[in-house]
Amino acid sequence: MIVCSCNCLTEAQVRESCTRSEGAARSTFEVYKCLGCSPKCGTCARTIRKIMDETLGGAACNACPVATNSACGAAKIADALNAAIEPLPAGAALVPAE
């Protein structure tokens, strides 16, 4: 199933990027990076995060020993980014900055 229309990313690719033996993705941004692309419209970010949580059993940010600690800067940034991501309404179009 395609989960990102902008980058043509599939559910299988997202799962594989989280389970590689080396360089496994531990954040939504890292999934894009592992797959050689970057977020475009952002609509897929929540779906990618859900797939990551299912694949990793909720341990998506587990790359460092303090990842679950409130002192983890990476966890704070990831939480803020995930909270800020809002999907575009159906039929909405992106307008390039001038």
Would you say 74 and 67 are in contact if contact means Cβ atoms under 8 Å apart?
yes
- How many other C-beta atoms can be found within 10 angstroms of the C-beta atom of residue 35? 19
Rounded alpha-carbon distances, angstroms, from residue 47 to 9, 10, 53: 11, 11, 10
Torsion sign across C-alpha atoms 29, 32, 34, 36: negative
DSSP state of 95: -
| pTM of the predicted model as reported, rounded to 2 decimal places | 0.59
pLDDT in tens, the chain (98 residues): 999 999 999 999 999 998 887 778 888 888 998 899 988 988 899 999 999 988 887 655 545 544 444 555 556 666 666 666 666 666 666 666 56
